[in-house]
Amino acid sequence: MNVQPDLDFIKYLKTAGGDTMKKCYQCATCSVVCPLSTEENPFPRQEMIWSGWGMKDKLVADPNVFLCHQCGDCTAYCPRGAKPGDVLGAIRAYAYTALGWPTGLAKLASSAKGLPMLIAIPTVIIFVLWAISGGMSIPDSAEFASHGYQRFFGHWDFHWLGKNVAFIDAFMLGAFGLAVVASYKGVTTMWKSMVEREGVNSNFKPSFVQLVRDFVWPSVLEIVKHSRFKECVTNRNREIGHKPLMYAFGGLFIVTAWSALANDVLGLWIPSLHGPMSVWNPVKVLANVSAVAMIVGCGILWMNRSQAEAEDNITPTFYDWFLIWEIMAVGVTGLLAEVARWAGLAAPGYIIYFIHLVSVMMLFMYMPYTKFAHLIYRTTAMTFERYRDSSFVKNPLDE
C-alpha cells in the first residue's frame, strides 16, 4: 500500500493533545481494554497507526473515532504512555474543523489564536444592534425594578412584537440558523464519507420514519442514559459532570421555548407576560435550577480536566478548555444578571447582561466547530453504527 502521510495533519495532532502518538509501538493493549474493539476492527490500535502515518481521510471518516467516549482506559493501561484517548480527541478536534462550514469560521474556532476574533464577532454585532435600538441608556431604579432586562434594546408600541424580543431574535436566530446549516452540511459530508469508507452498499434505504425510529431515536436514548459511560473504568466520574450539563441544557431549552411562546404569542393577549417573572414562577425556578446545574456540571468537568492534566501529564488544549470556559460564562453571567436585578443594580446588571448575551450567542454560533459538536457527530456515528449492522445493509441469511 502506498501511503502519502499528511505532515500538516500530524503536526496538528501534536499541538491538539496527540503529541504522544509516536510512543505507540503496537502492543495492542489499548484494543484489549477498549469495549469498542473487535477482531475485525482493533480499535484504537489501527487508529494509532493511521495517526502516525498522517492518514487524515481514513480517520475523519472513521465512525469509531466519534463513538469513543474517551473513557481513559486505553491511556491508563498503555505501557508506553502513548495516551490513545487524547490522540482520538485530537482527531475529533481536527474533524470538527475539517467538516465545518464556513471554512474560515471553523478554522478560527480551532485554536487560541482565533479567540479574540471569536469574542469580537458577537460582541460587535450585539453592540451595534444595541446602539441602533436606542436602548443603551441605563434605566432608573423604578424602571429596572418594573421591567428588568425586558427593555434592554428599548421599547416600542408595536403590539405584535416587542422591540427587545425582535432584536434578540435577530442575532440569536441568526446564530442558531448558522449552526443548523453548518451542522447539516457537516453531518451529510460525514455520513457520505462513512458510507464510502465502510463500503456500505444497501439495495434499499429506510424511509425517514424508519431512520428516526430504528436508528436515530435509539441512539439519542443511549446518549441520554449515558449507557457507554458506564463501561468506563478510569474516567467513570465524567458521567457525574456530563449529566448535570445535559439536564441543564434540557431545562434551559424548555425555559427558552416558553419565553418565546409567552413573549411572541401569548403576550399579545396577556400583556403581563412581557414583564420580568417572579422568582417563584415555576419557569424561573427551572431556569435557576438549570443554571446552577450547568455551573456544577461544568465545575466537575473543570476539576476532572485539571486533575488529569496534573496527574497524567496531559497537555492542556484550547479544544478541551474553550467549551468549559464558554458554558461556565453562560451560567455565571446568567445568575449574576439576575442577582443584579434583585439588588436593583441597573448599571452593573446591564453590563453583565450584555456579556451574557455575547456568551449565549457564542455558544450557538460556534457549536459545530467546538467540542460541543460531539452532540451531533457522535449521534450521527451511533446512528450509522446501527444502520451498518442492520438488515438494510447486511443480509441476515449471510450471517
Q: Is residue 18 pLDDT above 90, yes or no? A: no
Question: Rounded mean pLDDT of 237-254?
Answer: 85
Please state the pTM of the whole predicted model.
Answer: 0.88
Give yes or no for residue 170 having a pLDDT over 80: yes
Round to whole Å and give the CA distance between 66 and 60: 9
pLDDT (tens digit per residue) in 319-338: 889 999 999 999 999 999 99
Query: What's the pLDDT at 269?
Result: 79
pLDDT at 345: 94
Phi, psi of 290 (to 5 degrees): -65, -40
**Residue 209: pLDDT band with limits 50, 70, 90:** very high
Does the pLDDT at position 149 exceed 60? yes
Handedness of CA 84, 85, 86, 92 (dihedral sign): positive
Q: How far is CA 160 from CA 157, 171, 263, 267, 388, in A?
A: 9, 19, 10, 9, 49
User: What are 43's three cell numbers?
Assistant: 480499535
The cell for 44 is 484504537
Q: Cα(165)–Cα(274) distance, rounded to whole angstroms? A: 10
Q: pLDDT-derived band of residue 377, with 50, 70 and 90 as boundaries?
A: very high
Asked if residues 124 and 142 have their Cβ atoms less than 8 Å apart, the reply is no
Which residue would you say has higher pLDDT here, 314 or 291? 291
Predicted confidence at residue 274, as pLDDT, reads: 65
Averaged pLDDT score across all residues of the chain: 87
Mean pLDDT of 187-203: 85
164/158 Cα distance (integer angstroms): 11
Phi, psi of 87 (to 5 degrees): -65, -45
**Given a cut of 70, is residue 249 above it in pLDDT?**
yes
Mean pLDDT of 10-25: 84
Q: Which band of pLDDT confidence, cut at 50, 70 and 90, is reported for residue 35?
A: confident
Amino acid at site 318: F
The H-or-E segment that residue 150 falls in is none
User: For residue 122, what pLDDT is reported?
Assistant: 97
Whether 384 and 187 have beta carbons less than 8 Å apart is answered as: no
Helix 346-365 and helix 163-198, axial crossing angle in degrees, nearest 10: 20
- Tell the burial category of 69 from Cβ atoms under 10 Å away from its Cβ (0-12, 13-18, 19+): buried
Q: How many CB atoms are located within 10 Å of the residue 9 CB?
A: 20
Q: What's the whole-number mean pLDDT along residues 378-391?
A: 91
Orientation angle between helical segments 217-225 and 374-388, nearest 10 degrees: 120
More confident residue, 308 or 359: 359
In this predicted structure, the answer to whether residue 399 has a pLDDT above a threshold of 60 is no
Euclidean distance between CA atoms 176 and 353, whole angstroms: 19
Domain residue extents for the chain: 7-98, 103-388
- Which range of 133-142, 179-188, 263-272 scores highest in mean pLDDT? It is 179-188
Integer Cα distance of 53 and 2 in angstroms: 11
Mean pLDDT along residues 33-58: 87
The mean pLDDT value for 99-119 works out to: 93
Which grid cell is 367?
457549536
In the chain, at which residue ranges do the beta strands (DSSP E only) sit?
none
pLDDT(34) > 90: no
pLDDT for the residue 396 = 59
Q: Report pLDDT for 213.
A: 94
Three-state DSSP class for residue 207: coil
What local confidence, expressed as pLDDT, does residue 192 receive? 92
Grid coordinates representing 194? Answer: 462513512
Q: How high is the pLDDT of residue 148?
A: 87
Residue 378 CA to residue 392 CA, distance in Å, equals 21
Query: What pLDDT shows up at residue 313?
Result: 72
pLDDT at 158: 79
* Residue 242: Cβ within 10 Å count: 17
Contact 78, 84 (CB under 8 A): yes
* Exposed / middle / buried, residue 321 (Cβ in 10 Å: 0-12, 13-18, 19+): middle
Task: Give the residue-averaged pLDDT of 8-36.
Answer: 86
Query: pLDDT per residue over 70-93, tens digit each?
Result: 888 888 888 988 888 889 989 999
Q: State the pLDDT at residue 328.
A: 93
- Percentage, residues of the chain above pLDDT 90: 41
Cell of 118: 471569536
Question: Quick one: pLDDT at residue 398?
Answer: 59
- pLDDT for the residue 3: 66
